[in-house]
Amino acid sequence: MKRIDVLLLEARGDVQAKPRAQINVESAWRWAALAVAACEAGLCTDAVDYFHEAIEHAALGDPSGAELVRVRAWVSARVPLGML
């Protein structure tokens, strides 16, 4: 795990350099990737939690809903039907 001071330094850079919407979209994709990885590892409950976070951040990052559609499609293509 990264040290907390490294994470804080990265977060400060993100807050200064990126609009909030971009941060949310990037977070959505990170959570989406975690959902797929958790599913692959057989951690179904974790996968569901991560997927919900991905959906939330995608919706916050793009009010048009387009990013949400992309995130859902990407996860759905990689997770067995009915898993999430």
In a domain, 27, yes or no: yes
Please report the DSSP string for 45-83 in residue order. Answer: HHHHHHHHHHHHHHHHH-TTSHHHHHHHHHHHTTS-TT-
Look up the pTM and report it: 0.91
Q: How many CB atoms lie within 10 A of CB 56?
A: 15
In a domain, 49, yes or no: yes
Domain with 26 in it: 19-76
In a domain, 25, yes or no: yes
In a domain, 31, yes or no: yes
Into how many domains does the chain fold? 1
Find where tokens 């951040």 sit.
57
81 phi and psi, to 5 degrees?
Answer: -55, 135
* 51-76 residue pLDDT tens: 999 999 999 999 999 999 999 999 99
* 6-57 residue pLDDT tens: 999 999 999 999 999 999 999 999 999 999 999 999 999 999 999 999 999 9
- Determine the residue type at 5: D
